[in-house]
Amino acid sequence: MEKEKNFDPLDMNNYRVEKLKGQDKSVFERWMARLGIPLAILAFVLIYLCVDIPFLRDISPDALGKTALARWKAIGAEPFARANHAMLAIFVASIILWITEALPNYLTSLIVILAIVLTGVTTEQTAFAQLGHPVMWLNILSFVLASMLVKTRVAKRFALWLMARFGRSAGRVILSFVIINIVLSAFISATTAKATILLPVFMVIAAIYGATGGKDRNNMGRNLVLQNLFQINIGASGFITGSGANLLAGSLMAGAAGWTLFSFQDWFVAAFPLALLLILVGWFVGVKIIFPLAPGERRPSLEGGIERMRQELRDMGKMNAREYRAIAIFVAVLALWATDKQHGISQTTIAFAGAVVALLPRVGIVAWNDVDIPWHLMIFSAGAYTLGAGLDATSLPATLVDAGFGSLGIDNSTPYALIYALLTFVMLFSAIVFQSKTMRVLIFIPIALGVEQRFHFPPLSLAFPLALLTEHVYVLPFNSKPALLLYNTGQYSWSDTFKFGITMMTISWVAILLWGETVLHWLGYTRTLF
C-alpha cells in the first residue's frame, strides 16, 4: 500500500477498505475471463446435444434417491435420461463460468436457474422456489442482525477494548484476536464482513509494532494479518451460521437425511472444538515456527500508539442503550440457536424473531435502510441452491460416482478409511485452485452423499467431514474475498501466505483424519478409520 507524505499510521480511517489499492488481474486471469463464455457454451452443447454418455442413459431405478425416483416415475425413463444429460451440461458450464469469472456470479446463477427450467431438469415451482428456501431467509436475516453490530459499533468497541487492554505484548495481542474472531464468527455469517470490521484495528496495531506494509514489513505484521485471515475463516467453520457456504452444506446434508435444517447444536458440538484447536495450532505455527518474532517486534515501537487506541475507545463514549439492546438481541438469538434441539424452533425462525425485534420502531436498533444486504450474493446463492435441487432431481452425483469409481476399480471392498482420506484430501486441497467456497460445496458435498448411498455408508459419514473443511480458503490471495482483501494491505507476500497456508492445510488434513477416528466417530457420524 502506497504511503503518502503526511500519512498517519495510527489513523484508522487510512485503512478503510475503499482506500486499499486493489490488485489488477494477471494476464492468465484476463485470458480465463475471455475464454470462459465460449468454453461454457461449447461444453454445454457437446454434453447436451452431441455426446452420448451411456451411464447417464442406462440408470437403474433402484440406484435413485427418493426425489430422483419420483421424477423418473413422473416423466419416464427417456426424458429422465435427457434431464441427466442436461443437468451435467448445466453443471459443467456453470462451473466454467464461476471459475473463470467471465460473468458476474449472480448473472451465472440467473442463467443456471433459467437453463434448469428450460431443459426440464426440474419444474418451475421447484427452481424458482429456491429464492424462498429457509436457508436463503436465514442468510438475509443474518445480515439484518449483523448490521446491528456495524450500526451500533459494538464490534469496533469490543475490538478496541481488547487491544487497549492487552496491546502491550505481541503474544497477547494475537491471542486477543483469537477471542475477537471467535465471538464475531458466532454472530456474523459473512467472512468478508468480519475482515472489513477488523482490518482497521489490526492495521493500526501492526503500525504500533513497526509494520506499515510494503518495504516496512516485519514478522509481527505478517502474523497479525495472516493469523486474522486464518482465524476469520476457521472461526466461521465452528458454526453452521458462520458463512453462507456452511448453510448451503447444511441444507444439502439435511435434504439427504430427510431433515428440514441441519441442527446448529449438532454442527457446533462436532465443529467448534476442531476450529478452536486449529486456530491455536495456527497461532503456534505462525508465531513460533514460520514467522518467529524478533526481540524488537515483541513490544510497541511507535510511541503513543497504545494511547491512541485508548483515546479512540474513549472518543466512542460510554455504551448507550442501543448497544446494550443489540448485545441482548444477539445473545438471545445465539442462545436459542445453541439450544435448537431442545426447543425445536428452527434457526431461520429464531433469526426471524431477532430481526423483527431489531427492526421494531423505538424498541429496535436499526431501520431497514441501515441494513446492508448484498443482494448479488443472495441471487448467487439462489442459483447454487437451484443447482443443488437439479442434482437432487436427477441423482447425478450418485451416477457420476458409480461410473467414476467403477473406472478406478473402487468397489464395495474398498476400505471406508481410504475413501474418507481421499475425499477429505481432495476437498481440502481443491481450495488452492477454487475461488468460491460455495462452488466447492456444490461439487463435493453431493459427491460425498452419492458415495454414501452407493457404498451404503452411514448417512453424513463422508459429507459432514467434508463440510467441516469448507472454510479452508487462505493459502493464496485469490482463494477467497477475505484473502484478497487482506493481501492488499501489503503486510505479506505470496510466498509468505503460501508457506503458512500450505502448512496449516496439511496439518488440517491430519486433524480431520484424527477427528474422524475420534470425535466424529464418538458422535456417531463416521466409521473407524484406523
Q: What is the pLDDT of residue 469?
A: 96
Looking at residue 6, what is its pLDDT?
57
Distance CA 332, CA 186 (A): 12
User: In total, how many domains does the chain have?
Assistant: 1
Q: How many beta carbons lie within 10 A of that of residue 263, not counting itself? A: 17
- Tens digit of each residue's pLDDT (9 = 90 or more) over 117-173: 999 888 888 888 888 877 778 778 877 877 787 778 787 787 778 777 776 677 778
Among candidate residues 507, 439, 504, 511, the one with its CA nearest the CA of residue 475: 504
Q: What is residue 471's predicted lDDT score, i.e. its pLDDT? A: 94
pTM exceeds 0.85: no
pLDDT of res. 290: 94
Position 3 in a domain: no
pLDDT tens across 312-322, in order? Answer: 788 888 888 88
In contact, 274 and 472? CB cutoff 8 Å? no
Q: In this structure, is residue 528 part of a structural domain?
A: no
pLDDT tier at 1, thresholds 50, 70, 90: very low
* Residue 44 in this model has a pLDDT that exceeds 60: yes
For the segment 26-40, the average pLDDT, to the nearest whole number, is 84
Q: Residue 358 half-sphere exposure, CB side, CA atoms within 13 Å?
A: 31
Residue 426, domain extent: 12-522
Q: Could you tell me the end-to-end alpha-carbon distance of the chain, in angstroms, rounded to an integer?
A: 49
Q: Once rounded to an integer, what is the mean pLDDT over residues 171-188?
A: 82
Mean pLDDT: which of 13-27, 108-122, 381-395, 448-462 is highest? Answer: 108-122
Q: How far is CA 52 from CA 12, 55, 117, 215, 399, in A?
A: 60, 9, 22, 57, 15
| Higher pLDDT pick, 66 / 198 | 198
The answer to the question of residue 498 being in a domain is: yes
Express each pLDDT in 394-431 by its tens digit: 877 777 777 777 777 777 788 999 999 999 999 999 88
For 305-344, give the secondary structure using H, E and C: HHHHHHHHHHHCCCCCHHHHHHHHHHHHHHHHHHCHHHHC
- For residue 180, being part of any structural domain is answered with yes
Identify the CA nearest to 302 among candidates 16, 12, 10, 1: 10
Confidence at residue 138, expressed as pLDDT on a 0 to 100 scale: 76
Within a domain: 7: no
- The residue type of 6 is N
Residue 5 falls inside a structural domain = no
Q: What angle do CA 92, 97, 99 make, to 5 degrees?
A: 95
pLDDT tier at 2 (50, 70, 90 boundaries)? very low
